Amino acid sequence: MLKSSARRALMLRAGWLGTTVLGLTSRSGPARAADAASTGWTHGYAAYGEPKYPRGFDHFEYVDPAAPKGGTLYLKNPDRRTSFDKFNPFTVKGNSPAGLMLFMFEPLAVMAGDETMTMYGLLAEEMLIAPDKSSISFRLHPKARFWNGDPVTAADVKHSFDQQAGPYADPGSQSALATVEKAVVLDERTVRFDLKDKSKDTLFTVGTLRIFSRKWGLGADGKLPRFDEIITPYPITSGPYTIAEADSGRRLVFKRNREWWARDLGVRKGCYNFDTVVYRYYLDNTVAREAFKAGEFDIYKEYGGRSWVRQHKGPKWDDGRIVKDLFETNTGQGMQSYILNLRRPIFQDRRVREALGYTYDFETLNRLGLYRRCNSLFNNSEFAAAGLPSPGELKLLEPYRADLPPEVFGPPFVAPKTDMDPKKLRANLLKARSLFEQAGWKLAPDGRMRNTKGEPFEFEYLSPGEGRTMPEWDGNLQKLGITMKIRSVDFALYRTRLEEYDFDLITIAGGDFTLPDATGLMTMLGSKSADEKGNNNFRGVKSPAVDHVLTVMAAANTLEDLRDASRALDRLVTWNYWQVPDLYASDEKASYWNRFGMPKVRPKYFTIDTSSDQPQWPLMAWWIKDPAKR
């Protein structure tokens, strides 16, 4: 804390706060809004264009500012975590509970749910972006407080950054924040981030940085332990809820902080209306689904198409006690696919990878018609490759033409189809066999596909949790003499093997997005991350063309430039067959107990998945119609 804090506190109470930031003097009195407009300080930032909501707006359109407070929301574990053993979500070892990021940890700025890539200040009252994007500064809201009553200061922001970017944080956090040079405390309420990567992605990465008190984990001796040794202390945060109860790693109760500092801000008015939020952890989906039907929790997001059709029905749906809903969204959908680990020699020949795509009969698997085929990294969006490459795309691709598949320069990728026609399936399998033969794999007398060394073509599909059976795909592979072994492991071992890149084949679902995230894509496809264990380049891609396009994406100054780079990247990834594409949906499928009130307007970009970074609209904006009933 600055030595002049007492004098500054007196000035603040008098309505003035003299601070010098990058040579600019600012006041917190009546003229501040006009001053901010003239000096470049802004309440919101849009990646392209201007923010929709003006300075001082009252509330987002997709919330009800008059929403009543009260009642208890019951939820299940949103992913494969079946328990928790720590309260630090930023480190690798152990499992932290669901809901911490949503209900406790606040960012400097929040993403709007009805605009393309736009953030508005939350902990940060205002932000200032250097013209060349070499830095972004934040002026903290004078009312911002942690639940223990301490003000949120620039020192807390710097501490939060240093910990999440440091060597004891999880590799994903380190990688994302590696684009930032440093955080500099300018005064008690102002912090500047100097950026290595002068891009919009980095601005949003910093803007959505989660902040916590530098007192979190402080020992009796007044010293902080190493960040990965902060395990059991409850986080000291500024969000709308605190932890009221944690029971044996299987049940967690959040309690609404009635003195929450941000309850009347435009970015938070009408949000977080439940007095209590209870998470219950279930060992598997079958048990959880039955628990939902029995009323043990309120919202059940369904991932399985067959289960959606067969399980989400019955007397409670018929009489309206439970509502079955398709939540349509404009959010772009990343590529869910079976990822081939190129580090394995068996997958290094492009013809082999292409052949595997011909063995996958998506139409038969999607016989219920609930999903769409992934043909792009950027499904459900304008960033998916379309038509022939534009001049902007060709400018990016031409320098690498000699090393690229010729298809990259033609129409966009479309996965092989069968249309549930046995004749088309047979034709696809014959095409696959021909490609395998071209790559040196032939059917041996023993009925197995072997190479010239006599080695069989076999690989392992690594699956977490309950495991997965794929009889249709396995049957098609067997017809060609290929063995696919399915190995199911617990989530902890699964995560460890992914961190070590120790697998042949896995399924990964691409994330939701409003605009493509070049920084995230670099960790997924960049050459550097391919050799960094614990990162996300599961494919093992090392491509100069991909690296170049990703660099251009990160530096795009116009929506057209971003679109060209995204579509060029799409062509590179799909036509190299680094994965067997699976499915996506432009909706989210969920049933919920009919006890909620909700705003009339739904946001364009949202999710009902509590493990996602997109706005979780039901959890943020719904309310209990009659808290007395359960």
pLDDT tens digits, one per residue of 441-484: 999 999 999 999 999 999 999 998 765 678 899 999 999 999 99
| Confidence at residue 368, expressed as pLDDT on a 0 to 100 scale | 84
Q: Is 435 helix (H, G, I), strand (E, B) or coil?
A: helix
**Mean pLDDT computed over 364-376:** 90
| Confidence at residue 467, expressed as pLDDT on a 0 to 100 scale | 57
Cβ–Cβ under 8 Å, residues 343 and 539 = no
Provide the pLDDT confidence category of residue 608 given band limits of 50, 70 and 90.
low
Instruction: Give every CB contact of residue 592 below 8 A, 6+ residues apart in sequence.
Output: 298, 299, 300, 322, 323, 325, 618
| Confidence at residue 330, expressed as pLDDT on a 0 to 100 scale | 85
Q: Domain span at residue 535?
A: 333-421+464-479+488-584
Range of weakest confidence among 346-355, 375-384, 496-505, 603-612 = 603-612
Provide the pLDDT confidence category of residue 512 given band limits of 50, 70 and 90.
confident
| Confidence at residue 565, expressed as pLDDT on a 0 to 100 scale | 98
Cβ–Cβ under 8 Å, residues 254 and 277 = yes
Range of weakest confidence among 75-79, 270-274, 462-466, 527-531 = 462-466
C-alpha to C-alpha distance for 506 and 460, rounded to whole angstroms: 9
Three-state SS annotation for 27-90: CCCCCHHHHHHHHCCECEEECCCCCCCCCCCCCCCCCCCCCCCCCEEEEECCCCCCCCCCCCCC
Q: Are residues 16 and 147 in the same domain?
A: no
C-alpha to C-alpha distance for 156 and 215, rounded to whole angstroms: 9
Query: For residue 34, is pLDDT > 80?
Result: no
Q: Are residues 269 and 380 in the same domain?
A: no
Q: Are residues 26 and 50 in the same domain?
A: no
Cβ–Cβ under 8 Å, residues 451 and 437 = no
Range of weakest confidence among 286-290, 438-442, 603-607 = 603-607
C-alpha to C-alpha distance for 498 and 248, rounded to whole angstroms: 27
Strands 190-195 and 180-187: antiparallel
Q: Are residues 273 and 391 in the same domain?
A: no
Provide the pLDDT confidence category of residue 26 given band limits of 50, 70 and 90.
very low
**Mean pLDDT computed over 398-424:** 97
Cβ–Cβ under 8 Å, residues 156 and 212 = yes
Query: For residue 393, is pLDDT > 70?
Result: yes
Residue (of 19, 52, 53, 22) closest to 39 by Cα position: 22
Q: Are residues 409 and 504 in the same domain?
A: yes
Q: Are residues 366 and 397 in the same domain?
A: yes
Query: What pTM did the predictor assign?
Result: 0.74
Provide the pLDDT confidence category of residue 257 given band limits of 50, 70 and 90.
very high
Query: For residue 38, is pLDDT > 70?
Result: no
Range of weakest confidence among 86-100, 131-145, 432-446, 467-481 = 467-481
| Confidence at residue 468, expressed as pLDDT on a 0 to 100 scale | 64
Q: Are residues 377 and 399 in the same domain?
A: yes
C-alpha to C-alpha distance for 239 and 258, rounded to whole angstroms: 11
C-alpha to C-alpha distance for 252 and 239, rounded to whole angstroms: 16
Residue 565, domain member (yes or no): yes
**Mean pLDDT computed over 476-502:** 94
Q: Are residues 253 and 272 in the same domain?
A: yes
Cβ–Cβ under 8 Å, residues 77 and 291 = no
Cβ–Cβ under 8 Å, residues 572 and 526 = no
The residue that leads in pLDDT, 271 or 28, is 271
Residue 88, domain member (yes or no): yes
The pair of structure tokens assigned to 602 is 């739904």
Q: Which residue has the tokens 């550097």?
A: 528
Cβ–Cβ under 8 Å, residues 292 and 300 = yes
Q: Are residues 21 and 66 in the same domain?
A: no
Task: Please list the residues that pair with 588 across neighbouring strands.
Answer: 327
**Mean pLDDT computed over 561-589:** 95
| Confidence at residue 605, expressed as pLDDT on a 0 to 100 scale | 84
Helix axes 200-207, 518-525, angle to 10 degrees: 100
Residue 96, domain member (yes or no): yes
Q: Are residues 89 and 26 in the same domain?
A: no
Helix (H) or strand (E) holding 172: helix 171-177
Q: Residues of the chain with pLDDT > 90: what percent?
A: 76
Q: Are residues 77 and 177 in the same domain?
A: yes
Residue 613, domain member (yes or no): no
Instruction: Give every CB contact of residue 350 below 8 A, 6+ residues apart in sequence.
Output: 405, 576, 577
| Confidence at residue 568, expressed as pLDDT on a 0 to 100 scale | 98
Give the burial class of 615: count Cβ atoms within 10 A of its Cβ; 0-12 exposed, 13-18 middle, 19 or more buried.
buried
Residue 298, domain member (yes or no): no
| Confidence at residue 470, expressed as pLDDT on a 0 to 100 scale | 85
Helices (H), 341-470: 350-359, 362-365, 391-397, 422-438
Range of weakest confidence among 79-83, 323-327, 423-427 = 79-83
Provide the pLDDT confidence category of residue 248 given band limits of 50, 70 and 90.
confident
**Mean pLDDT computed over 308-333:** 93
The pair of structure tokens assigned to 164 is 């999440």
Q: Are residues 89 and 178 in the same domain?
A: yes
Q: For 493-497, which contacts have Cβ atoms below 8 Å and span 24 or more sequence positions? A: 494/462, 494/463, 494/464, 494/465, 495/464, 497/462
Query: What are 161-211's pLDDT values in tens digits?
Result: 999 999 999 998 998 899 999 999 999 999 999 999 888 889 999 999 999
Residue 176, domain member (yes or no): yes
| Confidence at residue 415, expressed as pLDDT on a 0 to 100 scale | 97
C-alpha to C-alpha distance for 449 and 444, rounded to whole angstroms: 6
Query: For residue 31, is pLDDT > 60?
Result: no
Query: For residue 283, is pLDDT > 60?
Result: yes
| Confidence at residue 2, expressed as pLDDT on a 0 to 100 scale | 30
**Mean pLDDT computed over 263-277:** 97
Provide the pLDDT confidence category of residue 367 given band limits of 50, 70 and 90.
confident
Give the burial class of 277: count Cβ atoms within 10 A of its Cβ; 0-12 exposed, 13-18 middle, 19 or more buried.
buried
Output the average pLDDT for the chain.
90
**Mean pLDDT computed over 389-415:** 98
Number of independent structural domains in the chain: 3
N residues, the chain: 630
| Confidence at residue 517, expressed as pLDDT on a 0 to 100 scale | 86
